[in-house]
């Protein structure tokens, strides 16, 4: 992840571990960033290697080494990097020296488990999270009662839950009376839970098992592994081929 100057301020911040590029844009417009002790709120501002950049009065510097980590988030841990009301942070489960510069790609709520990617590469993060790339996110969902096919068919067509743009699932598979596999391509806030609640189900367990070509596999809760750059390139290129695609599952 070679850094070439001059570099846009939001990219500089993302490479410093301040968050995804879009999150860093919000930090700038909120007035939380200074360059050479001058507050900057204009997006697109460029900085050079000799410039001093501060976020919330703390100096930040980009790291030219890129990290890509897959973590099996346990229940009870939060994805946010700081919340005064929380004590268990998923990021702190990752055993590398630079864990503090990592940020999550998408998120899982506190009660959900499964695969989440951590990185310090803001460009990769933007590609994974942007809806236009339509990267699949696969979940296993368990409810208090058996999920009905008709409800899943309705979710395929789109549900107007909050009267804005509809919520969709891309495909599904009712596996047993307890478990249903659901695939999304967006990842809006608490999307799975909102869809199932709207359809009259109480979600008891929710586990993300795949993001594109990256699978949870046999990782136990709290375990993590490094992802290779080729794996990440395949992910953002949308070249993954899943078992369900081969079988033609819905």
Catalytic positions are 109
Where does residue 135 rank: exposed (0-12), middle (13-18), buried (19+ CB within 10 A)?
buried
């Amino acid at each position: 992840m070679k850094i070439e100057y001059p570099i846009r301020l939001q990219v500089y911040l993302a490479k410093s571990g301040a968050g995804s590029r879009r999150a860093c844009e919000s930090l700038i417009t909120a007035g939380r960033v200074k360059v050479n002790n001058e507050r900057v709120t204009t997006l697109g501002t460029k900085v050079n290697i000799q410039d001093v950049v501060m976020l919330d009065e703390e100096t930040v510097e980009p790291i030219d080494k890129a990290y890509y980590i897959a973590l099996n988030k346990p229940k009870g841990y939060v994805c946010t990097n700081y919340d005064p009301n929380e004590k268990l942070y998923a990021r702190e489960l990752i055993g590398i020296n630079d864990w503090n510069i990592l940020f999550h790609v998408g998120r899982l709520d506190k009660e959900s488990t499964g695969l989440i990617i951590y990185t310090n590469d803001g460009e990769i993060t933007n590609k994974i999270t942007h809806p236009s790339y339509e990267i699949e996110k696969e979940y296993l969902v368990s409810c208090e009662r058996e999920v009905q096919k008709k409800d899943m068919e309705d979710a395929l067509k789109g549900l107007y839950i909050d009267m804005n743009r509809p919520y969709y699932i891309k495909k599904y598979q009712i596996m047993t009376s307890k478990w249903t596999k659901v695939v999304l391509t967006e990842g809006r806030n608490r999307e799975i839970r909102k869809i199932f609640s709207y359809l009259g189900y109480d979600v008891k367990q929710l586990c993300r098992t795949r993001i594109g070509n990256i699978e949870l596999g046999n990782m136990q809760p709290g375990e993590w592994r490094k992802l290779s750059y080729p794996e990440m390139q395949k992910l953002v290129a949308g070249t993954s081929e899943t078992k369900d695609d081969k079988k033609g599952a819905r």
